[in-house]
Structure 1
Amino acid sequence: MTRTPEITLREFTPADGEAILTAFNRIFAEVQEGFSPRSLAEWRWRFVDNPAGGRASLALDEQGRVLAQYAGLGVRLLLEGEEVLISQSVDSFCDPAVRGGLARAGLFVQAGRPYAERHGFDGEGEDRLMYGLPVPGAWRVGRDQLQYSMLSPLWRLEGEAVALAGLEADTDVCVEVGDRVPDGVDALFEHAAAGQPALVIKDRGHLGWRYDARPEGEYLWLRALRNQELVGWMVLAAGAVEGRQALWIMDSLVVQGDDGARRALMAAAGRQARDQGLDTLACVATDACHEWDALQQLGLRVVHSGYSFAGRSYVPRRPVAWWAEHISLALGDTDLL
């Protein structure tokens, strides 16, 4: 009689990086076309160096090999004036070789449930919301067994680089190109956050980690100045999302109503795309985007992407429908690029 192997479920530690990557790189190479193996430096950037913390629940066999992982990246959020945590679910997997066995059926769920119990709670230091972009199979399992709900479609907005480069900008706004977080981002975020019910915190700590410190990322900064004061910024990256090659707006911030700064940044981004030989400038947005009208007035058109955000709320008075109405997520709030 064959003995049923023992499965251990536990939280990850920084020392687990190589074991996780051995399984992650092998499994994703089998299912994802064009997959590039992840380095240990990239893994540590995500799960160890993240100022909001990394989380992962692992399922291991008796030899310590990782069979399944349910993981997420912490995100700091300003929720009605209070700094709290939410998380983006990423990099979850289950070894195809153990999905079908009866003793191991639901191993993905077995890893996911303790993850949710450990990290999802309406309290200090816990995740008030978990969100992600699940593939169809993970969505079905999450909906049926892990209480996922649909949060928002992910919309794509795109425009012709040459046309955007020709936008006339206010002469009192100067846009400069840089390679790192500009000075003044904290004060600008504080100004922009006033009165917002839910806003991902885009301060120097977050931006420096997300863009400047990423080992496998190449990003370009634009900073908009008026009288030498920072009035807006934008982060750009060339690449493909859903097979669409473009210069992508990863993230940007302008105080609501400052159309001059927004227009100047968009024109500068169009010039960057044109100069890089790219026909398209694009970004993504959720239903709660505050700049829908402004972006379309500047010449971007809305296209439905193939992605949708799923989520689970841990705040009783804030169901997923509330988050869908109030939280705006950018491309930089995903790990797509």
Structure 2
Amino acid sequence: MTSLRSALPLLFLLSLPALAADPLPSWNDGPSKKQIVDFVQAVTVEGSRDYVKPAERIAVFDNDGTLWTEQPAYFEVLFAFDEIKRMAPQHPEWKTTQPFQAVLEGDHQALAATGMQGLLKIIGATHTGISTEAFIDNAKAWLKQARHPKTGKPFDQMIYQPMLEMLDYLRSQQFKTYIVSGGDTAFMRAFAEVVYGVPPEQVIGTNFVTQYQLKDGKPQILRTAKLAHNDDGPGKPESIDAIIGRRPLLAFGNSDGDLQMLQWTAAGSGKRLMGLVHHTDAQREWAYDRNSQVGRLDKALDLARANGWIVVDMASDWRRIYPFEPAVQAKVQ
């Protein structure tokens, strides 16, 4: 029989994987990963100079381009286009009315010619005039059947495995993780808890004015066509201040629309971490920044580099981009 003394080395070796478990296995070892891990350790080790109480460990993340892909167009816009097609039988006038006609005919040039006003009409037709519950049900139904045009995968699988690991890692260290995005709040709530582990009350986005009403004797919250808050740019720190009530310790985005959220986070006292996901991998995802019509990253990129914020180079920092991909050693650029 093996003695306890002789078994001790074996027991020690068996415990090593748990002690040395990598919290971010889809990240390549490098400055970005090290900064994240060093920051988390600094603010969570009791007695540390930078220790922060769990109640104050707030982390905020943009969604589009930060937690999931935003190319070739924002997924919520693609949802709206598909909703126009689904709803078209109830609106025969759309066949000869722009921008709906362009969507139904797949006429990208005509659709582009309608500009932002055209897009707002599409969003209004698909996002308002119904209850919040009905809208979320529509979004969930779309996510079940819609497929990404490039990969053929469901849209809610086009998420970034490294960022999922970061969310899990932060929560394991008693951080409270929030999504603060320009997307519609209810649209994101249709998937955020299942996909990211972020509950509805921690999802903050753009909102329409809502009204309580009784319909057929049943109470509902009606989504009206009036915009209540645009959660982009300066709207993000405004939402954080109004809804969370604490300045974040950590903020991550990917575009100029996230700049004010990063600035607001950086302006707090004590140790803070600000980061950008830089889309540099044209082979596994897309490569774009300053000249992109989607997720434009220009001023925020310059300020991040000037201020020492993390700029995650997707091509070199991430071993894996999507959960359905095998992990590979990314080529250093």
TM-score range, shorter chain: under 0.3
Instruction: Give the number of the structure whose residues are more often strand, by fraction.
Output: 1
Which structure is larger by alpha-carbon Rg, 1 or 2? 2
Instruction: Give the number of the structure whose residues are more often helix, by fraction.
Output: 2
